[in-house]
Chains A and B, each alone.
Chain A
Amino acid sequence: MDNMERNNQQNKMIQQALGRMNKESLSPDFKARLMAQIRQREYNREMWIGVGLATTFIVFVCLMVYLAYRIYLSMGWTKIFTPENVYQLKLWTMIFISAPLLFIFDKYASPKILAFFDKIDPRK
């Protein structure tokens, strides 16, 4: 018996032995339970991200209010709302509001929109 033949014979024997060990299979609801757990994890993850973003936003607003108050204390409103400053304030307000919104859109809404268009793609 050459090496190859012997290996094959042993392979068959070991395969048969391994086949007889632990014959039970996964329970029928395995996949359903797994997917339910994944959905729960996703939900928890998104909820915590939402809580984190909301907290950051609130802290940011509080900080802005506090800064405005400190500016008011040092300068008074009439000095802040000069025609030149109002333009600057508008600009910065827009940047500070649109940046988090763009971030949220890019991270969460955009993949969902892309997935939706992918799903309805007539070429598939």
Chain B
Amino acid sequence: MELIENSLIRQILNGATERYAELVQLHENAVFALIARIVGSCEEAEELTQDVFLKAYSNLHKFKQQSTFSTWLYRIAYNKAISQTRSRRIVQLELDESRLIKISDEELDAFEQSESSNDKIERLIRAIEALPSEERALITMVYYNNLSLQKCAEITDQSLGNVKVKLHRIRRKLYQMIKSENYG
């Protein structure tokens, strides 16, 4: 995959502009899925996806192959989507930090085994939608786009340890939100 991408990039930089369509084909759905889950609107996500691919095309000569093309592209998409949500100035839900710490692993287990999964998923969707955009982006990259934690760290410009801690906190937060239904 990486070899194909690098060969395509070389050809595009050498003047074969039309081959960019093949690069777009490889990543358009994943990029759109990530942006759609961060911004929450499909129309806006499509517009942003287009901006991301245009920006990637204009800056293709700056891509130095220090990371994979997908990481580089995701990074553009992540930054674009996050800055878009920031410009909207949505008031994010603030949870009581002390309550997050008190959640034990046993409590999480009991919750997972207790309810019907459909209802649980519906509540989980509402909880995810209420998360701040950075956190929604992180769980989307990890659980939906199936990116490695190392890749997520590169995309979000954080250390690997920081990403792990954040992910753990998000999962606890989601549990607390589902339990208390005090979001939205």
Contact = CB atoms under 8 A, between A and B. Distances in A.
Interface of A: 1, 3, 6, 9-11, 13-22, 24-27, 30-31, 33-35, 37-39, 41-42, 111-112, 114-115, 118-119
B112 A34 contact: no
B29 A26 contact: yes
A20 B125 contact: yes
Nearest to B33: A22
A27 B32 CA distance: 11
Given A18-B144, A41-B54, A34 B109 contact: no
Interface string B46-84: 100110011001100000000000000000000000000
Interface string B86-122: 0000000000000000000100110010000100110
Interface of B: 11, 14-18, 20-21, 24-25, 28-29, 32-33, 36-37, 40, 42, 45-46, 49-50, 53-54, 57-58, 105, 108-109, 112, 117, 120-121, 124-125, 128-129, 139-140, 143-144, 171, 174
Given A19-B144, A115-B16, A30 B128 contact: no
Nearest to A38: B57
28 contacts: A3-B105, A6-B109, A10-B108, A11-B143, A14-B139, A14-B171, A15-B144, A16-B117, A16-B121, A17-B121, A18-B139, A20-B121, A21-B129, A22-B33, A22-B42, A22-B45, A24-B36, A25-B29, A25-B32, A26-B32, A30-B50, A38-B20, A39-B17, A41-B58, A111-B15, A114-B14, A115-B16, A118-B14
